[in-house]
Amino acid sequence: MTRVPMEGKVLNENDRAAAELRAEFARHGVFAVNLISSPGSGKTALLERTLESYDAGRRVAVLTGDIQTDADAARLARYGFPVRQITTAGACHLDARMIRRALDGWELAQIDLLFIENVGNLVCPTSYDLGEACKIVLLSVTEGEEKPLKYPGIFFKSELMLLTKIDLLPYVPFNIDVAEANARTIHPEIQIARLSCTTKQGLDEWLRWIDARKGGQ
């Protein structure tokens, strides 16, 4: 009897759904970004500061994933842009079909920029393509500078590493240069930016980065 490894099968199905999504995004000119980090690294805070900085006419939307609660969607809905919560009821990552379902009823032609906040986890989301144009990994200064070495997959696949909560650097023994060097050991071309959503230091650089990246698709 031939045994088909389940994980391989699920991933293949996801790859097919993700390819369809990617084609759909391309057809409608949607630039989709997959934000990945541990729980609490500041994904929602980053989106709050980002949405807050955008004019009302900006064609941006957010899908935010968590295992339970719509707390993040409630935080993000305050800025007036379309926001939907995806609750995975236990799954440790979003998959392409969850994204497709969550987009139902949205006019994709009206969206230029779609942020997807993944479930907090540095491992599982790495393997699930969501049809995004790029993955971005957040690492906060309270997590330890060795994390890129321990969780290489996501640092290898991400185009940008955002080092978050840099306002806390005076209070934690985190060597930011070592963190950057560790990320570059795994992925020499990874781009890196430093950011605090509390003081807004580095926020303009992030906003410029996303606009430039989107412009180039």
Which residues contact ligand GDP by CB under 6 A? 37, 39-45, 120, 164-165, 167-168, 196-198
Contacts to Mg ion from residues 9-28, by CB under 5 A? none
Q: Which is nearer to Mg ion, 17 or 73 (CB)?
A: 73
For the four alpha carbons of 116, 80, 47 and 206, in that order, the dihedral sign comes to positive
C-alpha to C-alpha distances, 60 to 50, 84, 114, 140, 161, nearest whole angstrom: 10, 12, 6, 25, 22
Give Rg (Cα) of the chain.
Answer: 17
Q: Which of these, 66, 27, 35, 68, lies nearest to 51 by C-alpha position?
A: 35
Q: Which is nearer to ligand GDP, 45 or 60 (CB)?
A: 45
C-alpha to C-alpha distances, 150 to 79, 146, 153, 183, nearest whole angstrom: 36, 6, 9, 10
> Does residue 129 bind Mg ion (CB under 5 A)?
no
- Residue 34 binding partner per list ligand GDP, Mg ion, none, with a CB distance cut-off of 5 to 8 Å that depends on partner kind: none
Q: Where in 40-104 does DSSP place strands (E)?
A: 60-66, 83-87
Amino acid at 75: R
> Does residue 72 bind Mg ion (CB under 5 A)?
yes
- Residue 40 binding partner per list ligand GDP, Mg ion, none, with a CB distance cut-off of 5 to 8 Å that depends on partner kind: ligand GDP
Asked whether 154 and 147 are in contact (CB, 8 A), the reply is no
> Which residues on adjacent β-strands are paired with residue 138?
162
- Residue 89 C-beta: closest distance to ligand GDP, Å: 18
Q: Which is nearer to Mg ion, 14 or 44 (CB)?
A: 44
> Does residue 44 bind Mg ion (CB under 5 A)?
yes
Asked whether 113 and 148 are in contact (CB, 8 A), the reply is no
Residue with nearest beta carbon to Mg ion: 44
- Residue 32 C-beta: closest distance to ligand GDP, Å: 18
- Residue 150 C-beta: closest distance to ligand GDP, Å: 18
- Residue 99 C-beta: closest distance to Mg ion, Å: 16
Classify residue 139 by its DSSP letter: E
Sole window of 44-52, 94-102, 132-140, 206-214 interacting with Mg ion (rule: CB under 5 A) = 44-52
Q: Which is nearer to ligand GDP, 41 or 50 (CB)?
A: 41
| Binding interface with Mg ion (CB under 5 A) | 43-44, 72
